Amino acid sequence: MPKKVSDQIKDATEEYLQQSYNRLIKTVMRRLATKKRSPVYTGFFASSWKVDTSPIQSVDQLVSPWLELSKKKWKNPSNKEYKIEPRFYPPDKAYNYKRRVYIGNTAEYAIYALEDGRVQQFVQGGEMKALVEEAFKERQPNISVGGRQATGQFGTMAGRTYTGYTEL
């Protein structure tokens, strides 16, 4: 027996929200792993963003190749070399949009690196809001009416209900 239209709409909405949520998580992680949005000395901090369903622990010490970069910088402070290579990207699983996720940094010195302010500017400025709005922006639905595939727009405007569609 075919599914009811309401069940089809519910399933499509759930799938859309799930995909949008995970796409947003990946976008945020990718953006945080840049010199523009994370302070960069060796690149370890910018490379250490992680997502999980529980709060992220900042316990990771410098490892190769960032440890070697740090030693070079101690010997020669004018050395501008760094390496951003996300260690936890892409996320190892898909996250349910109904459940909270945490995006945090695993570098043990994260609390000090955050004093730079770039991360706060990204999160509290307009960029994060724009990412969320884009991720969950309504798309024009693809609807089949009477066996014909059509696209349509449905809704209300100034108290009036409207429907419209065009056949493909």
Rounded to the nearest 10°, the torsion over CA 67, 121, 94, 140 is: -150
Is the pLDDT confidence value at 66 over 90?
A: yes
- The owner of tokens 């709409």 is 9
Residue 164, number of CB atoms within 10 A of its CB: 10
Buried b / exposed e along 6-34 (16+ C-beta atoms within 10 A):
eeeeeeeeeeeeeebbbebbeebbebbbe
Query: In Å, how far are 52, 53, 54, 161 from 100, measured between CA atoms?
Result: 9, 6, 8, 36
**Residue 159: predicted pLDDT:** 56
Do residues 168 and 149 touch, judged by C-beta distance below 8 A? yes
Interval 51-79 mean pLDDT: 94
DSSP for 112-144 reads HHGGGSHHHHHHHSHHHHHHHHHHT-----EEE
Question: Each residue of 6-48: pLDDT tens digit?
Answer: 888 888 899 999 999 999 999 999 999 999 999 999 999 999 9
Buried b / exposed e along 127-154 (16+ C-beta atoms within 10 A):
eeeebeeebeeeeeeeeeeeeeeeeeee
Question: Each residue of 154-165: pLDDT tens digit?
Answer: 555 555 654 554
